[in-house]
Amino acid sequence: MNKEVISDKQGISIIILYMSGTSSILVFGIIAKQDIWLATIISILMALFTACIFGRLHYIFPGKNLFDIFESCCGKIIGRGITVLYIWFAIHEGTLVGMNIYQFITDTILSETPNIAVFILLLLICTYFVKKGIEVIGRWAELMFIPTVVFVTIIALLLIPNMKINNIRPVLKDGIMPALKGAFVIFSFPFGEIVTFSMVFSIFRTKKSPYRIYIIGLLIGGVIVFITSLTTVLVIGVNSASEAYYPVYKAFTRIKIAGFIQNFEVIGASSFIVGGFLKVSIYILAVSKGISSLFNLKDYRFIVIPIVVQMLNMSYFLHYSRIEYNKWNFEIFPYYAFPFEMIIPVIIWFIAEIRFNRLGYKQLRKL
């Protein structure tokens, strides 16, 4: 199988765009209400723990992705069984992210365009980039993340006159539990999804690169999610944020300069589409590498198109309305994703540490 190397900056850029793109129009963890800022901080701390785990796994198993690590730690039979579960998780979540993108585009920009047409166009672009490999995706992310972050930050600054501090008061009105529940939701989406990168990252520039990429990317992406969530609640309030399909987008519509310069929400929409495109591409790449690992294929590129076709088919029957989609995202997905994002990685990490201490570094690399 071809080995692809990415620089630290490229890896960090991918993670930042991956996480900040979704937050450009959506607010997760609104169950925390006015304490969403606290819930976001707690979820970042949870994600830092998993980021260190993935960095450690890459350090113990250099040159291997998560699918290879499963077999090294659990043997072929159990390892490949876990690989199948993660392949399903990646293709399922990749399809849902793609559906989120085309629903947003057809709801706000191209209302007369069929959903399927938008999704096909998105998947065609993703297919091109995935076939080029993670290195090309990394270079593209390195080019795009600076303007994306700058634009979102500028919009947040322009919204300051519309902010009302009372929208986040009183702190912990209903106790700590709403904040913890909100943190659980935010961790599952988008922070816990950092597990996806362990499926596609394998070779790094230095031994310390995995830690740098995961931690720095997570912290910067987390700050952007924190800013957009807090800004949205401060501008439109908890009730409006919980009722709107695209609350951040709604908050961005409040920007008016000199009474007539407006429509800045287009920038937020663009950031979401850019981040969403990258996210779908990473999921397709993860599924491709998972299937390649499962069947010992030398190259993953020739199975990209069948995977994309399968995602297109799945989009027809997963969810039939935006209401049903949101219910899945906020009520069911956190519990569905938690084993993939936290429980299984922790178990694999424990096994890796035990085998590392027993066999030593050189012997473990041969597994």
Using the predicted structure, report yes or no on whether residue 179 has a pLDDT greater than 90.
yes
Using one digit for the tens of pLDDT, what is the confidence trace for 90-119? 999 999 998 888 888 888 777 788 888 889
3-state class (DSSP) for residue 204: strand
Least confident of 53-57, 208-212, 313-317, 358-362: 358-362
State the sign of the Cα–Cα–Cα–Cα dihedral 177, 234, 147, 114: positive
pLDDT of residue 351: 92
Task: Name the DSSP letter for residue 113.
Answer: S
Q: Rounded to whole angstroms, what are the CA distances from 46 to 11, 56, 122, 190?
A: 20, 16, 32, 12
pLDDT of residue 308: 95
- Average pLDDT of every residue of the chain: 87
Q: How far apart are the first and last CA of the chain?
A: 16
pLDDT of residue 88: 96
Q: Which residue has the tokens 């569905």?
A: 336
State the sign of the Cα–Cα–Cα–Cα dihedral 298, 304, 309, 315: positive
* Identity of residue 175: G
* Identity of residue 177: M
Which pLDDT band, with edges at 50, 70 and 90, does 359 fall under? low
What is the DSSP pairing of strand 203-204 with strand 5-6? parallel
d(CA 118, CA 110): 9
Domain 5-365 in CATH 1.10.4160.10? The answer is yes
Using the predicted structure, report yes or no on whether residue 89 has a pLDDT greater than 70.
yes
CA atoms within 13 A on the CB side of 33: 13
pLDDT of residue 83: 96
User: What percentage of the chain has pLDDT greater than the value 90?
Assistant: 47
3-state class (DSSP) for residue 296: coil
pLDDT of residue 363: 56
Count H helices and E strands in the chain, helices first: 15, 2
CA atoms within 13 A on the CB side of 111: 2
State the sign of the Cα–Cα–Cα–Cα dihedral 41, 44, 49, 50: positive
pLDDT of residue 366: 55
Using one digit for the tens of pLDDT, what is the confidence trace for 211-256? 999 999 999 999 989 988 899 999 999 888 888 888 888 887 777 7
d(CA 166, CA 89): 40
pLDDT of residue 180: 94
Using the predicted structure, report yes or no on whether residue 338 has a pLDDT greater than 70.
yes
Average pLDDT in the 174-193 region? 91
Using the predicted structure, report yes or no on whether residue 1 has a pLDDT greater than 50.
no
Using the predicted structure, report yes or no on whether residue 62 has a pLDDT greater than 70.
yes
Least confident of 129-138, 232-241, 270-279, 347-356: 270-279
Using the predicted structure, report yes or no on whether residue 123 has a pLDDT greater than 90.
yes
pLDDT of residue 259: 57
Residue 156: in which H helix or E strand, if any? helix 134-158
d(CA 228, CA 186): 13
Using one digit for the tens of pLDDT, what is the confidence trace for 63-81? 899 999 999 899 899 999 9
Least confident of 30-34, 198-202, 241-245, 359-363: 359-363
Which residues touch 280 (CB under 8 Å, ≥6 apart)? 94, 97, 98, 101, 122, 123, 126
Average pLDDT in the 56-60 region? 91
